[in-house]
Amino acid sequence: MKYLFTFFIIPLFLLNTTTQKEKFLGKWLGEDKSEIGYLIFDNEGYAAFEIEGQVMGGKEFYMKGQKGKMTYTINYQTSPIEVDFTLTKIQSGESKKILGIAKFTDKNTLNFNMSFDSVRPTEFDDNSIVLKRVQ
């Protein structure tokens, strides 16, 4: 009997190969005050914001004439999940962090809140946004 149990149960764990990072990967759509924007997480650790066709972030972008990049890190050990973006000027190495929190309501819906003033939000409030995965 225990061999049958092993035969049927272990493959279920092996088939569930979705990693925590893969839950975030892809393009997410959000709407804030009638503006539609996107948040993009790629497999290489780069993130980008896209608003009105303008992309800020990714492996390489220009802002105020300077080349930069935006990476992300995710801490799954916290509740809510901590999501940090690091904007780096490529030439000088100078960087700035954007601190955020996230919580999945289902696999394609994400509550998200972030702060640009180096203080991590602690809850989902009026500044939060609901992101939907772009299929």
Mean pLDDT by 10 residues, the chain (135 residues): 46 46 88 87 96 92 92 95 96 94 95 91 93 94
Letter for the amino acid at 111? N
CA distances from 95 to 25, 88, 89, 98 (A): 23, 4, 6, 10
Q: What is the pLDDT of residue 120?
A: 95
Domain 20-133 classified CATH 3.40.50.2300? no
Q: What is the pLDDT of residue 17?
A: 38
Q: Strand (E) positions, 4-135?
A: 26-32, 35-41, 47-51, 54-57, 61-63, 66-75, 81-89, 95-106, 109-115, 129-133
Q: What is the pLDDT of residue 35?
A: 84
Domain regions of the chain by residue span: 20-133
Q: What is the pLDDT of residue 4?
A: 45
